[in-house]
Amino acid sequence: MDVNINPVIELENIHRDYRMGDNIVKALDGLSLTIGGGELTSIVGPSGSGKSTLMNIIGCLDRPTDGRVRLNGEDISILSDKRLSTIRNRNIGFIFQQFNLMPRLSILENVATPLLYSRVKTSERNRLATAALQKVGLGDRLKHRPTELSGGQKQRAAIARAIVTNPSLLLADEPTGALDTTTGELIMDLFRQLNSEGRTIIIVTHDPEVSQQCRRVVRVRDGKLEPEIVNVY
């Protein structure tokens, strides 16, 4: 996949401090990073190094203490929380280690949920959710509940939910962490397929099998970046 020169995410000298009584924890300590459109990137580093904090800032779920964040060229630091959540819903899909599916809803209803925030009719919502589920190979599981699926199928459903709004950026925090090796490989195949179709994907992972499949490997330590690894295939 050719990498687009237009950056999706630009982080400039990001600091994120947490105040703990009289102490300040510098979770991110002057970190700059640009992710171009169409890239497949992993974020690695020891526990507590700041990976999730970084993902939350990239995903516009959290704001830096200092520094500038641009999403698709737009400076988001000056936006209201309401505007920011609209932009987030439109541009970013999230995937988590524990899938975060709603147990009482069918897979189809789970995948259709992000469309409730847009003005899409029910019939169109169901059509888009069905198409997303077909894309991840779950077209024959629409009526199932999450408990009636395997771990890999649950993560496929979560990926369908993340892509149903056609966001420009997918963010995954340890997406294979709860899966066995073979199932994790199939999920990585799916991410690579989605990337080859032009989606920008960022994956936080402890698993070298996962990071090896990403062209860029961004390494975080003590809230700072170490020289990144570029995998050439």
Ligand X SMILES: Nc1ncnc2c1ncn2[C@@H]1O[C@H](COP(=O)(O)OP(=O)(O)OP(=O)(O)O)[C@@H](O)[C@H]1O
Residue 203 half-sphere exposure toward CB, CA atoms < 13 A: 32
The reply on whether position 4 binds Mg ion by CB under 5 A is no
119 CB-side CA count, 13 A: 0
Question: Which positions ≥6 away from 156 have C-beta within 8 Å?
Answer: 136, 137, 138, 187, 190
Residue 64 touches ligand X, criterion: CB under 6 A:
no
Give the range of 16-24, 25-33, 45-53, 134-142 binding Mg ion by CB under 5 A. Answer: 45-53
Separation CA 181–CA 140 (nearest Å): 24
- Contact call for residue 97 and Mg ion (CB under 5 A): no
CA separation for the pair 186, 175 (Å, rounded): 11
- Residues 13-32 touching ligand X, rule: CB under 6 A, are 18, 20, 25, 27
The residue count for binding ligand X (CB under 6 A) is 12
User: Does 50 sit near ligand X (CB under 6 A)?
Assistant: yes
**Site mask for Mg ion (CB under 5 A), range 5-44, x = bound:** ----------------------------------------
Q: Provide the binding-site residues for Mg ion, judged by CB under 5 A.
A: 52
